[in-house]
Amino acid sequence: MATRDDGEVDYAARRERWKRTYMKPRAERPASTARGVHHVALICSDVERTIQFYDGLLGFPLVEIMENRDYQGSTHLFFDLGHENLLAFFDFPGLGLQPGVESIGSVQHIAISIEAAQFEAAKRRLEAAGVPYLGPDRGITDSIYFKDPDGIQIELIREPRLVQDGHLLGG
């Protein structure tokens, strides 16, 4: 592990080593074996509140509701995030699940790209609904962060997909 003269871990040196070891230049990189994310499935505590938040407040149309085939009585619902991307939720009534916490293996946040023209409108809708958000004030001028009714952190980012901090990822 790379350390500095003061004995502390040199995180920047580690990242550079990982880049040299694992990242190939775009021209040498093979195509992914995946077609994309079909859907990300999360757990909600209240189906109707989740629909009102994601469809009604954020403007991600609800496109399907069905019974969860793995747990009788559970609902599986899907929201359209554009470009054939879906965000899905399950509820698990009767299981007594506890709220999630940020931990190893959990979702830290979901970053959803939105059109620049929608960014300010989204902030106004969040403000009108009393949903607090952070940003754009963390050195990142193109993102806001907030939590859904179950505490899932969402980032709305006005940069296009595959762009981070103004540059093409992996380019």
Digit-coded pLDDT (tens) for 3-25: 666 778 889 999 999 989 998 98
Amino acid 171: pLDDT? 66
In this prediction the pTM is: 0.82
Amino acid 139: pLDDT? 61
Domains of the chain: 35-168 (3.10.180.10)
Using 50, 70 and 90 to split pLDDT, how confident is the model at 160? low
Cβ-based neighbour number of residue 35 at 10 Å: 7
- How far is residue 25's CA from residue 64's CA, in Å, rounded to a whole number? 40
CA distances from 9 to 12, 16, 20, 73 (A): 9, 13, 18, 50
- How far is residue 97's CA from residue 58's CA, in Å, rounded to a whole number? 25
